[in-house]
Structure 1
């Protein structure tokens, strides 16, 4: 069983990933703003199924790799640290956009197309695969039990956090984006807060002693 303090750190990381600008959130918010909440939620269902695809693929793959490849943990840990620092820079670099600044106009589509586009937007999103591959190994350890069960547990925890958080943002998309448009100073606060959390997580992983 993964210790509670480790699980809480993972949940924080998963939440930060939700509010990090990326194809999934920009697509869902844009759909909600231009076509309504129902369209945003249908798109989100497609995104959630895309997460399920990544969870199953990465969980079985990670289990095999961590059992058979020497130094795999060290390599994946290093990749995770670099990736988190990259995301921190992406959040605050000049010209970066907050997820709450989504304004892209999209033509109206039916439920089937909304779901399918959400699904493939996530399935083809490299950020999701890189997050799973580089971050999961930091919390999956033999002394906590079955590796596959741990990976699946983390995956569904991340999926739940993403779905609930994204769902709330989609439902409030119009109000939230309107508020930020009238309070641009808080866009900068949100960016720097996100970058600080990502950098802190990178430092935590870098100092982790591993398995």
Structure 2
């Protein structure tokens, strides 16, 4: 296994983005279990991008402005929806004022996490540009090698995101004990989703 690939993967995965934000919010909202479920959902959301890169579908996305823009704006719309749900405190990441109340189902959290990653065209193009750098040109086992590296990337994503979520869950009780802090945390997460939507909206191929 290339040490360069491992180090690059860790840097990319640990850099805060939509998935990290989602997992942090889940940990703060519902604790360690919810953060692990969110991390698992974000990891599953990588699978379609991995398949697209391995099968060459990413090339279509890269060359077709219509396909890229369509997927991009679907992603923007979903991020804005996540922001709206967070502000209203009725989505998968609703933070209860007192720590009570029914928790969202694991299926709902996983579904939200998968959609966040699936509706990000940059992730497909990233895989398309990233993986081939670590697979020798003309290698007879190129497909197996790309699947192996993709699996490592997904494992790193799950572990790092779970650590982020567990860290957030560790301070959860202190935050829930302060309603003012809860309110501001909800606003911060909502505003962060809006900011991520804006950043995605201005991105080009």
TM range (shorter): 0.5 to 0.7
Partner Cα distance (1:153, 1:73) in 2: 27
Of 115, 121, 136, which aligns to 1:130? Answer: 115
Identify if the C-alpha distance between structure 1 residues 123 and 168 changes in structure 2 by more than 3 Å, giving closer, same or farther.
same
TM-score, scaled to structure 1: 0.60
Instruction: Tell me if 1:209 matches 2:204.
Output: yes
TM-score, scaled to structure 2: 0.62
Of 95, 99, 103, which aligns to 2:100? Answer: 103
Of 169, 173, 184, which aligns to 1:189? Answer: 184
Partner Cα distance (2:15, 2:98) in 1: 26
Note the 1:1-211 alignment, pairs <5 A: 7=12, 11-21=16-26, 29=31, 52=43, 54=44, 57-63=47-53, 64=55, 65-68=57-60, 70=64, 71-93=66-88, 97-98=94-95, 102-104=99-101, 121=106, 125-135=110-120, 137-139=121-123, 140-141=125-126, 142-144=128-130, 146=132, 155-173=154-172, 175-176=173-174, 179-181=175-177, 183-210=178-205
Cα distance, 1:68 vs. partner? 4.4
Partner Cα distance (2:14, 2:168) in 1: 22
CA contact (8 A) 1:81 1:206 kept: yes
Structure 2, unmatched stretches of 5+, are 134-145
Structure 1, unmatched stretches of 5+, are 30-39, 107-119
Cα distance, 1:44 vs. partner? 6.4
Cα distance, 1:91 vs. partner? 1.2
Q: Who is 1:114 aligned against?
A: none
Identify if the C-alpha distance between structure 1 residues 185 and 49 changes in structure 2 by more than 3 Å, giving closer, same or farther.
closer
CA contact (8 A) 2:22 2:38 kept: no
Identify if the C-alpha distance between structure 1 residues 72 and 154 changes in structure 2 by more than 3 Å, giving closer, same or farther.
farther
RMSD: 4.2
Cα distance, 1:75 vs. partner? 2.1
Q: Secondary structure at the match of 2:17?
A: helix
Cα distance, 1:20 vs. partner? 3.5
CA contact (8 A) 1:66 1:72 kept: no
Cα distance, 1:72 vs. partner? 3.2
Cα distance, 1:99 vs. partner? 6.2
Matched residue count: 176
CA contact (8 A) 1:20 1:99 kept: no
